[in-house]
Structure 1
Protein backbone atom coordinates (compact mmCIF):
# COMPACT_ATOMS: atom_id res chain seq x y z
CA UNK A 1 0.00 0.00 0.00
CA UNK A 2 1.39 3.40 -0.92
CA UNK A 3 1.57 6.12 1.69
CA UNK A 4 1.11 9.78 0.97
CA UNK A 5 4.14 11.71 2.58
CA UNK A 6 5.65 11.37 5.99
CA UNK A 7 5.94 13.83 8.83
CA UNK A 8 7.09 13.40 12.41
CA UNK A 9 4.50 13.08 15.15
CA UNK A 10 1.11 11.43 15.33
CA UNK A 11 -0.83 11.44 12.07
CA UNK A 12 -4.55 10.75 12.26
CA UNK A 13 -6.41 9.07 9.43
CA UNK A 14 -10.13 9.89 9.15
CA UNK A 15 -12.92 8.33 7.14
CA UNK A 16 -16.70 8.00 7.29
CA UNK A 17 -19.33 5.40 6.56
CA UNK A 18 -22.91 6.09 5.62
CA UNK A 19 -23.09 9.28 3.58
CA UNK A 20 -25.23 7.74 0.85
CA UNK A 21 -27.88 5.66 2.66
CA UNK A 22 -31.49 6.70 3.09
CA UNK A 23 -31.55 5.52 6.69
CA UNK A 24 -29.34 5.28 9.73
CA UNK A 25 -26.55 7.50 11.01
CA UNK A 26 -23.37 8.72 9.42
CA UNK A 27 -20.35 7.43 11.34
CA UNK A 28 -16.78 8.72 11.27
CA UNK A 29 -13.65 7.23 12.74
CA UNK A 30 -10.20 8.64 13.39
CA UNK A 31 -7.12 6.47 13.95
CA UNK A 32 -3.51 7.09 14.89
CA UNK A 33 -1.55 3.94 14.11
CA UNK A 34 1.43 2.71 16.12
CA UNK A 35 4.39 2.18 13.75
CA UNK A 36 5.78 -0.36 16.24
CA UNK A 37 2.61 -2.49 16.14
CA UNK A 38 1.83 -2.90 12.44
CA UNK A 39 -1.47 -4.34 11.25
CA UNK A 40 -1.32 -6.35 8.04
CA UNK A 41 -4.22 -6.42 5.62
CA UNK A 42 -5.50 -2.87 6.07
CA UNK A 43 -7.43 -1.77 2.98
CA UNK A 44 -10.47 0.15 1.85
CA UNK A 45 -13.30 -1.31 3.96
CA UNK A 46 -15.50 -1.67 0.86
CA UNK A 47 -13.02 -4.17 -0.57
CA UNK A 48 -13.04 -6.43 2.50
CA UNK A 49 -15.52 -9.06 3.57
CA UNK A 50 -17.59 -8.36 6.68
CA UNK A 51 -15.72 -11.04 8.65
CA UNK A 52 -12.32 -9.65 7.61
CA UNK A 53 -13.43 -6.12 8.59
CA UNK A 54 -14.41 -7.41 12.04
CA UNK A 55 -11.00 -9.03 12.56
CA UNK A 56 -9.14 -5.93 11.39
CA UNK A 57 -11.33 -3.62 13.49
CA UNK A 58 -10.37 -5.64 16.56
CA UNK A 59 -6.69 -5.34 15.65
CA UNK A 60 -7.01 -1.58 15.13
CA UNK A 61 -8.74 -1.09 18.50
CA UNK A 62 -6.04 -3.19 20.19
CA UNK A 63 -2.90 -1.88 18.47
CA UNK A 64 -3.56 1.74 17.50
CA UNK A 65 -2.05 4.54 19.57
CA UNK A 66 -5.52 6.11 19.64
CA UNK A 67 -8.86 5.75 17.90
CA UNK A 68 -12.18 7.51 18.10
CA UNK A 69 -15.66 7.10 16.65
CA UNK A 70 -18.51 9.60 16.38
CA UNK A 71 -22.09 9.15 15.20
CA UNK A 72 -24.53 11.71 13.81
CA UNK A 73 -28.13 10.55 13.82
CA UNK A 74 -30.70 10.93 10.99
CA UNK A 75 -32.55 13.86 12.63
CA UNK A 76 -29.28 15.83 12.79
CA UNK A 77 -28.44 14.84 9.20
CA UNK A 78 -31.82 16.30 8.16
CA UNK A 79 -31.19 19.47 10.15
CA UNK A 80 -27.56 20.06 9.09
CA UNK A 81 -27.39 18.35 5.63
CA UNK A 82 -25.28 15.27 4.99
CA UNK A 83 -22.01 17.10 4.29
CA UNK A 84 -22.14 19.14 7.50
CA UNK A 85 -23.27 16.07 9.46
CA UNK A 86 -20.28 14.16 8.08
CA UNK A 87 -17.95 17.01 9.08
CA UNK A 88 -19.47 17.00 12.57
CA UNK A 89 -18.86 13.25 12.86
CA UNK A 90 -15.26 13.67 11.69
CA UNK A 91 -14.60 16.38 14.26
CA UNK A 92 -16.20 14.24 16.96
CA UNK A 93 -14.04 11.25 16.04
CA UNK A 94 -10.90 13.40 16.18
CA UNK A 95 -11.91 14.87 19.54
CA UNK A 96 -12.43 11.32 20.84
CA UNK A 97 -8.76 10.49 20.12
CA UNK A 98 -7.77 12.30 23.30
CA UNK A 99 -4.53 13.52 21.73
CA UNK A 100 -3.60 16.18 19.19
CA UNK A 101 -2.30 14.94 15.84
CA UNK A 102 0.35 16.91 13.96
CA UNK A 103 -1.54 16.17 10.75
CA UNK A 104 -5.03 14.93 9.89
CA UNK A 105 -5.45 12.97 6.66
CA UNK A 106 -9.04 12.74 5.47
CA UNK A 107 -10.39 10.51 2.74
CA UNK A 108 -11.88 12.56 -0.09
CA UNK A 109 -11.46 16.10 -1.35
CA UNK A 110 -13.23 18.13 1.37
CA UNK A 111 -12.72 18.53 5.06
CA UNK A 112 -14.25 20.29 8.03
CA UNK A 113 -12.52 23.29 9.57
CA UNK A 114 -10.14 21.83 12.12
CA UNK A 115 -7.55 23.20 14.55
CA UNK A 116 -4.90 20.87 13.07
CA UNK A 117 -3.20 20.81 9.67
CA UNK A 118 -5.31 18.82 7.20
CA UNK A 119 -4.51 16.90 4.05
CA UNK A 120 -7.37 15.54 1.95
CA UNK A 121 -6.55 12.37 0.02
CA UNK A 122 -8.82 11.25 -2.80
CA UNK A 123 -9.01 7.46 -2.57
CA UNK A 124 -7.22 7.70 0.77
CA UNK A 125 -8.94 4.63 2.17
CA UNK A 126 -6.88 2.62 -0.32
CA UNK A 127 -3.69 4.70 -0.13
CA UNK A 128 -3.08 5.56 3.51
CA UNK A 129 -2.98 2.91 6.24
CA UNK A 130 -4.45 5.16 8.96
CA UNK A 131 -7.33 6.19 6.69
CA UNK A 132 -7.89 2.50 5.83
CA UNK A 133 -8.04 1.70 9.54
CA UNK A 134 -10.53 4.52 10.09
CA UNK A 135 -12.59 3.28 7.13
CA UNK A 136 -12.78 -0.18 8.70
CA UNK A 137 -13.73 1.09 12.17
CA UNK A 138 -16.43 3.38 10.79
CA UNK A 139 -17.95 0.67 8.59
CA UNK A 140 -17.96 -1.99 11.32
CA UNK A 141 -19.49 0.38 13.84
CA UNK A 142 -22.17 1.60 11.43
CA UNK A 143 -23.05 -1.93 10.32
CA UNK A 144 -23.60 -2.91 13.97
CA UNK A 145 -25.88 0.09 14.44
CA UNK A 146 -27.86 -0.89 11.35
CA UNK A 147 -28.35 -4.41 12.75
CA UNK A 148 -29.79 -2.79 15.89
CA UNK A 149 -32.15 -0.74 13.71
CA UNK A 150 -33.15 -3.95 11.90
CA UNK A 151 -34.27 -5.40 15.24
CA UNK A 152 -36.60 -2.42 15.71
CA UNK A 153 -37.90 -2.23 12.12
CA UNK A 154 -37.27 -5.64 10.48
CA UNK A 155 -39.56 -5.08 7.48
CA UNK A 156 -37.10 -2.60 5.91
CA UNK A 157 -34.25 -5.12 5.64
CA UNK A 158 -31.58 -2.92 7.21
CA UNK A 159 -29.59 -6.06 8.01
CA UNK A 160 -29.08 -6.66 4.28
CA UNK A 161 -28.69 -3.25 2.64
CA UNK A 162 -27.64 -1.16 5.68
CA UNK A 163 -29.97 1.65 4.63
CA UNK A 164 -28.64 2.09 1.10
CA UNK A 165 -31.23 2.71 -1.65
CA UNK A 166 -31.48 -0.84 -3.03
CA UNK A 167 -34.57 -1.97 -4.91
CA UNK A 168 -35.69 -3.95 -1.84
CA UNK A 169 -35.29 -0.93 0.42
CA UNK A 170 -37.16 1.36 -1.95
CA UNK A 171 -39.98 -1.19 -2.19
CA UNK A 172 -40.19 -1.44 1.62
CA UNK A 173 -40.17 2.34 1.87
CA UNK A 174 -43.05 2.54 -0.59
CA UNK A 175 -44.99 -0.20 1.21
CA UNK A 176 -44.48 1.00 4.79
CA UNK A 177 -43.48 4.66 4.54
CA UNK A 178 -40.48 5.99 6.45
CA UNK A 179 -39.60 5.03 10.02
CA UNK A 180 -37.71 7.19 12.57
CA UNK A 181 -34.40 5.80 11.27
CA UNK A 182 -34.94 7.33 7.82
CA UNK A 183 -33.42 10.59 6.62
CA UNK A 184 -36.45 12.61 5.67
CA UNK A 185 -34.41 15.21 3.76
CA UNK A 186 -33.33 12.56 1.24
CA UNK A 187 -35.58 12.63 -1.83
CA UNK A 188 -36.83 9.00 -1.89
CA UNK A 189 -37.74 9.21 1.80
CA UNK A 190 -39.39 12.59 1.40
CA UNK A 191 -41.39 11.31 -1.57
CA UNK A 192 -42.46 8.17 0.32
CA UNK A 193 -43.68 10.32 3.22
CA UNK A 194 -46.06 12.18 0.90
CA UNK A 195 -48.24 9.11 0.39
Structure 2
Protein backbone atom coordinates (compact mmCIF):
# COMPACT_ATOMS: atom_id res chain seq x y z
CA UNK A 1 0.00 0.00 0.00
CA UNK A 2 1.44 3.34 -1.06
CA UNK A 3 1.87 6.05 1.52
CA UNK A 4 2.03 8.79 -1.09
CA UNK A 5 -0.99 11.02 -1.36
CA UNK A 6 -2.20 12.07 -4.80
CA UNK A 7 -0.59 15.47 -4.19
CA UNK A 8 2.87 14.08 -3.54
CA UNK A 9 2.95 11.44 -6.25
CA UNK A 10 5.08 12.26 -9.25
CA UNK A 11 3.64 12.77 -12.67
CA UNK A 12 4.83 10.30 -15.21
CA UNK A 13 6.43 11.68 -18.32
CA UNK A 14 4.17 10.96 -21.27
CA UNK A 15 7.15 11.25 -23.62
CA UNK A 16 6.85 12.04 -27.32
CA UNK A 17 3.05 11.82 -27.30
CA UNK A 18 2.87 14.69 -24.82
CA UNK A 19 5.39 16.67 -26.85
CA UNK A 20 3.28 16.34 -30.00
CA UNK A 21 0.09 17.21 -28.08
CA UNK A 22 1.78 20.20 -26.45
CA UNK A 23 3.09 21.48 -29.79
CA UNK A 24 -0.37 21.19 -31.36
CA UNK A 25 -1.95 22.91 -28.35
CA UNK A 26 0.62 25.72 -28.53
CA UNK A 27 -0.04 26.30 -32.23
CA UNK A 28 -3.81 26.34 -31.68
CA UNK A 29 -3.41 28.73 -28.76
CA UNK A 30 -1.07 30.99 -30.75
CA UNK A 31 -3.62 31.21 -33.58
CA UNK A 32 -6.29 32.28 -31.09
CA UNK A 33 -4.13 34.68 -29.10
CA UNK A 34 -2.57 36.29 -32.18
CA UNK A 35 -6.01 36.64 -33.81
CA UNK A 36 -7.27 38.45 -30.72
CA UNK A 37 -4.21 40.49 -29.77
CA UNK A 38 -1.84 40.54 -32.73
CA UNK A 39 1.51 38.89 -33.34
CA UNK A 40 3.12 40.81 -30.48
CA UNK A 41 0.84 39.32 -27.82
CA UNK A 42 2.67 38.02 -24.76
CA UNK A 43 3.95 34.49 -25.28
CA UNK A 44 3.02 33.58 -21.71
CA UNK A 45 -0.62 34.09 -22.79
CA UNK A 46 -0.06 31.49 -25.51
CA UNK A 47 1.38 29.01 -23.01
CA UNK A 48 -1.47 29.65 -20.58
CA UNK A 49 -4.11 29.18 -23.28
CA UNK A 50 -2.42 25.94 -24.37
CA UNK A 51 -2.38 24.68 -20.79
CA UNK A 52 1.39 24.18 -20.74
CA UNK A 53 4.26 25.84 -18.94
CA UNK A 54 6.49 28.43 -20.54
CA UNK A 55 9.32 25.89 -20.52
CA UNK A 56 7.31 23.70 -22.87
CA UNK A 57 6.60 26.68 -25.10
CA UNK A 58 10.30 27.53 -25.38
CA UNK A 59 11.32 23.90 -25.94
CA UNK A 60 9.11 23.83 -29.03
CA UNK A 61 9.54 27.44 -30.12
CA UNK A 62 12.70 29.10 -28.81
CA UNK A 63 11.45 32.57 -29.79
CA UNK A 64 8.45 34.41 -31.22
CA UNK A 65 9.73 34.10 -34.80
CA UNK A 66 9.92 30.30 -34.49
CA UNK A 67 6.27 30.24 -33.39
CA UNK A 68 5.19 32.57 -36.20
CA UNK A 69 7.15 30.50 -38.73
CA UNK A 70 5.38 27.34 -37.53
CA UNK A 71 2.01 29.04 -38.01
CA UNK A 72 3.00 30.24 -41.48
CA UNK A 73 4.20 26.75 -42.33
CA UNK A 74 0.76 25.33 -41.52
CA UNK A 75 -0.90 27.95 -43.69
CA UNK A 76 1.48 27.45 -46.59
CA UNK A 77 0.92 23.69 -46.48
CA UNK A 78 -2.85 24.18 -46.75
CA UNK A 79 -2.37 26.54 -49.71
CA UNK A 80 -0.05 24.01 -51.40
CA UNK A 81 -2.55 21.21 -50.82
CA UNK A 82 -5.40 23.30 -52.19
CA UNK A 83 -3.32 24.31 -55.23
CA UNK A 84 -2.85 20.62 -56.08
CA UNK A 85 -6.60 20.04 -56.36
CA UNK A 86 -8.02 19.81 -59.89
CA UNK A 87 -9.59 22.95 -61.32
CA UNK A 88 -8.50 25.21 -58.47
CA UNK A 89 -8.22 28.85 -59.52
CA UNK A 90 -6.20 31.83 -58.40
CA UNK A 91 -9.37 33.22 -56.80
CA UNK A 92 -9.78 29.98 -54.82
CA UNK A 93 -6.22 30.23 -53.51
CA UNK A 94 -6.62 33.90 -52.66
CA UNK A 95 -9.84 33.03 -50.85
CA UNK A 96 -7.95 30.52 -48.72
CA UNK A 97 -5.13 32.98 -48.04
CA UNK A 98 -7.73 35.60 -47.13
CA UNK A 99 -9.37 33.21 -44.70
CA UNK A 100 -5.97 32.66 -43.09
CA UNK A 101 -5.60 36.43 -42.78
CA UNK A 102 -9.05 36.70 -41.19
CA UNK A 103 -8.19 34.02 -38.65
CA UNK A 104 -4.69 35.15 -37.78
CA UNK A 105 -3.23 38.60 -38.16
CA UNK A 106 0.26 37.11 -38.39
CA UNK A 107 -0.71 36.14 -41.94
CA UNK A 108 -0.12 39.73 -42.98
CA UNK A 109 3.61 39.15 -42.83
CA UNK A 110 3.25 36.23 -45.22
CA UNK A 111 2.60 38.69 -48.01
CA UNK A 112 5.13 41.32 -47.01
CA UNK A 113 6.17 43.28 -50.04
CA UNK A 114 9.91 42.60 -50.06
CA UNK A 115 11.59 39.31 -49.16
CA UNK A 116 14.89 41.10 -48.47
CA UNK A 117 13.19 42.99 -45.62
CA UNK A 118 12.60 39.70 -43.78
CA UNK A 119 15.22 39.09 -41.14
CA UNK A 120 14.56 35.37 -40.90
CA UNK A 121 15.38 33.12 -43.87
CA UNK A 122 12.59 30.70 -42.89
CA UNK A 123 10.06 33.42 -43.69
CA UNK A 124 11.75 34.08 -47.03
CA UNK A 125 11.50 30.36 -47.84
CA UNK A 126 7.80 30.22 -46.93
CA UNK A 127 7.06 33.28 -49.03
CA UNK A 128 8.91 31.70 -51.96
CA UNK A 129 6.72 28.61 -51.63
CA UNK A 130 3.61 30.80 -51.86
CA UNK A 131 5.00 32.52 -54.94
CA UNK A 132 5.68 29.11 -56.50
CA UNK A 133 2.09 28.02 -55.83
CA UNK A 134 0.45 31.23 -57.07
CA UNK A 135 2.52 31.80 -60.24
CA UNK A 136 1.00 29.09 -62.48
CA UNK A 137 -2.51 29.96 -61.30
CA UNK A 138 -1.86 33.62 -62.05
CA UNK A 139 -0.76 32.67 -65.56
CA UNK A 140 -4.04 30.76 -66.00
CA UNK A 141 -6.05 33.72 -64.66
CA UNK A 142 -4.32 36.13 -67.06
CA UNK A 143 -4.95 33.73 -69.98
CA UNK A 144 -8.62 33.45 -68.99
CA UNK A 145 -8.95 37.25 -68.83
CA UNK A 146 -9.93 37.34 -65.16
CA UNK A 147 -6.74 39.23 -64.28
CA UNK A 148 -5.25 42.06 -66.37
CA UNK A 149 -2.23 41.21 -68.54
CA UNK A 150 1.02 42.19 -66.90
CA UNK A 151 -0.18 41.38 -63.37
CA UNK A 152 2.70 39.83 -61.45
CA UNK A 153 2.80 37.58 -58.40
CA UNK A 154 4.23 40.55 -56.52
CA UNK A 155 1.09 42.51 -57.47
CA UNK A 156 -1.08 39.68 -56.15
CA UNK A 157 0.89 39.50 -52.91
CA UNK A 158 0.59 43.27 -52.53
CA UNK A 159 -3.17 42.78 -52.84
CA UNK A 160 -3.03 40.12 -50.12
CA UNK A 161 -1.07 42.49 -47.90
CA UNK A 162 -3.50 45.36 -48.44
CA UNK A 163 -6.57 43.24 -47.77
CA UNK A 164 -4.99 41.58 -44.73
CA UNK A 165 -3.97 44.93 -43.25
CA UNK A 166 -7.53 46.17 -43.56
CA UNK A 167 -8.88 43.01 -41.95
CA UNK A 168 -6.95 43.68 -38.76
CA UNK A 169 -9.12 46.73 -38.11
CA UNK A 170 -12.44 44.95 -38.59
CA UNK A 171 -14.57 42.96 -36.21
CA UNK A 172 -14.47 39.24 -36.93
CA UNK A 173 -18.09 39.22 -38.12
CA UNK A 174 -17.38 42.00 -40.63
CA UNK A 175 -14.23 40.50 -42.13
CA UNK A 176 -15.71 38.29 -44.89
CA UNK A 177 -17.74 41.13 -46.43
CA UNK A 178 -14.85 43.57 -46.03
CA UNK A 179 -12.41 41.17 -47.70
CA UNK A 180 -14.71 40.59 -50.68
CA UNK A 181 -15.21 44.36 -51.11
CA UNK A 182 -11.50 45.09 -50.76
CA UNK A 183 -10.57 42.46 -53.35
CA UNK A 184 -13.24 43.84 -55.72
CA UNK A 185 -11.81 47.35 -55.37
CA UNK A 186 -8.44 46.13 -56.57
CA UNK A 187 -9.96 44.18 -59.43
CA UNK A 188 -10.22 40.61 -58.13
CA UNK A 189 -13.30 38.53 -57.49
CA UNK A 190 -12.30 36.68 -54.32
CA UNK A 191 -14.56 35.16 -51.71
CA UNK A 192 -12.89 34.24 -48.43
CA UNK A 193 -12.69 30.45 -48.24
CA UNK A 194 -15.07 29.10 -45.62
How high is the TM-score relative to the length of structure 2? 0.31
Which one has a bigger Cα radius of gyration? Answer: 2
How high is the TM-score relative to the length of structure 1? 0.31
Bigger share in helix: 2
Larger RCO, structures 1/2 (Cα 8 Å, 6+ apart): 1
Bigger share in strand: 1
